[in-house]
Amino acid sequence: MKSEIVKQIGALSAAAFGLVAALAWNGAIQAIFKAVFGTADSISAMLIYAIVITIIAVVVTMQIGKVSERLTKSKE
């Protein structure tokens, strides 16, 4: 029971730090986007930003999945 609680606290802590890192990256990427494209207040700029971030998230997620799969196969 104790080890399960510690495991859950670890997972929640990792998720919390991940959220903080994501918010920091979000601010940095928005600043870069604003410097390159000017104001980010228009709907079209917000849509472009959302699409770019979504593409990046999908690519990174796919790469993490491939690495995870390779590590799983190498353990077997």
| Alpha-carbon distance values, 45 to 7, 68, 71 (Å) | 41, 34, 39
8 A C-beta contact, residue 30 and residue 49: yes
**pLDDT above 70: residue 76:** no
* pLDDT value of position 43: 76
pLDDT of residue 41: 66
pLDDT band at 59 (very low <50, low <70, confident <90, very high): very high
At residue 17's C-alpha, the angle toward residues 29 and 28, to 5°, is 10
Cα gap 29→15, rounded to integer Å: 21
- List, in sequence order, every beta strand (DSSP E) within the chain: none
